[in-house]
Structure 1
Amino acid sequence: MKKILFVCLGNICRSPLAEAIFKKKLLEHGLNDQIMADSAGTANYHVGENPDPRTVEIAAKHNVPVNHKGQQFKKSHTDEYDYLLAMDQSNYGNMVAEMGEDSEKLMLMRDFDPYGKGEDVPDPWYGGMNGFENVYQILNRSLDDFIVFLKKKHDL
């Protein structure tokens, strides 16, 4: 089974939304028995907390169930997961610092975005619902391409 970890700063906005969208897509593609997903944050601000209510609201708007408690990214995740997807360059750097090295497992979420390859997934924390909708749309299309990547790379 392939294991995917989505990582942002606090693990209450972007990464739990990515995790939830991805899990729904896995079900739709019949891959939920071959791939599992989780999410974490590089900071410990929200360990044990539910996702931001705006994350839950935007997910519900798109019929995506969210079920997650915040956790902090740690070095051991490098061994536990096949792919670690950072939401932005800052968190990518924080992950490299925690891991002690860069890793081929570590990627940016938007490496898979056909409309913004390599760009950051913006942090919607200080914005309104439009920011959360924008993040949903970025993640939704990026995850489509990530699933294509996984299918090709692992013959799923």
Structure 2
Amino acid sequence: MNIDEIRDNFALLEDWDDRYRYVIELGRTLEPLPEGEHSPENKVQGCVSQVWLSKQIERNGGHGVVLKYRGDSDAHIVRGLVAILLTLYSGQTPQQILATDALEIFDEFGFREHLTPQRSNGLRSMVERIRNDARTALATA
């Protein structure tokens, strides 16, 4: 699934209860995060729910690197938000990650008005973590 498919599916759902159910369904599509990756270094700080983002850096055939992510959360809706973030960012180059404004896309979907302030802060923390990973990968490439 790509972000355009998610965008199209979201547009079909007018009711926010249906949209939340869809986000929860997206969370269920995440591959399970191995227990060893539920570690302090993978835990995202600034989230009320527990959130883990596991990063893998892969060489991209001599053309730099791509960052691949796996993620998990103990909250169903947050797990769905993680799934959307990974759709946007996992498998992308650091440059692509830094050029993609995930918060703008979440705003486009209407999340700003429909997430609690704590969840919004957690979402920002997740995005900032991935963007920091991208900046670090660029600096060390």
Q: TM-score, normalising length from structure 1?
A: 0.28
Higher helix share: 2
How high is the TM-score relative to the length of structure 2?
Answer: 0.30
- Pair member with larger Rg: 2
